Amino acid sequence: MSNKMPGKALFYIISLSTVAILLIAYTLYIMDWTQLSWVPVLIFLVLIIAADSFPVNLPRGGKVTVSFATIAASILLFQPIIVICISIALELVLIVQSRERVKHIFNAAQFAVSTGFAALVYSNLAPTNISFSFAHIPAFIAAMVTLFILN
């Protein structure tokens, strides 16, 4: 039995990876580096790696991670490129360590696209004032809908 990937699957993974790379390039371009504080980013990186490292077993089989809350909070707190970096951190480590590189490349691209677009939706719809208010709720709901649709 051959382990060769079907052409359509390979095309899909390459296309998704291309979109992810373009999105990363765009979010790097629009990043306001003066607002970056490394300590919160490092805390969220630790949280997302911990959440992804300890999956929860489902009663009828399968596993799920509990990283959604960390990603949702990062969308509220950080600029889009930081959200992307936080969401793909563990997958980048697994690309290097694992033999299933294609799986982790796909996962990283998919996380980059879904969280990146959700973060862009939030950053474009949220009020520009720094303090959180009820006016942020529609932007957050739109970002979560985007995340669910693309995920």
Q: Identify the DSSP state of 130.
A: S
CA distances 109 to 18, 33, 114, 125, 130, Å, are: 8, 23, 9, 24, 30
Confidence (pTM): 0.88
Does residue 13 contact residue 105 with C-beta atoms inside 8 Å? yes
pLDDT of 130: 67
CA distances 86 to 46, 59, 60, Å, are: 9, 29, 30
Q: In this structure, what is the dihedral angle of CA atoms 132, 137, 141, 147, given to the nearest 10 degrees? A: 0
| DSSP characters over 30-85 | H--GGG--HHHHHHHHHHHHHHHHSPEEPTTS-EE---HHHHHHHHHHS-HHHHHH
Q: Which residues pair with 57 in a beta bridge?
A: 63
Grouping H, G, I as helix, E, B as strand and the rest as coil, residue 90 is helix
Q: Which helix (H) or strand (E) is 127 found in, with range? A: none
pLDDT in tens, the chain (151 residues): 346 888 899 999 999 999 999 999 999 999 999 888 999 999 999 999 888 888 888 888 888 888 888 999 999 999 999 999 999 988 888 888 888 889 889 999 999 999 999 999 999 998 876 677 788 899 999 999 999 999 8
Residue 136, token pair as written in the block: 């942020």
Residue 126: which of 141, 111, 145, 146 has the closest Cα?
141
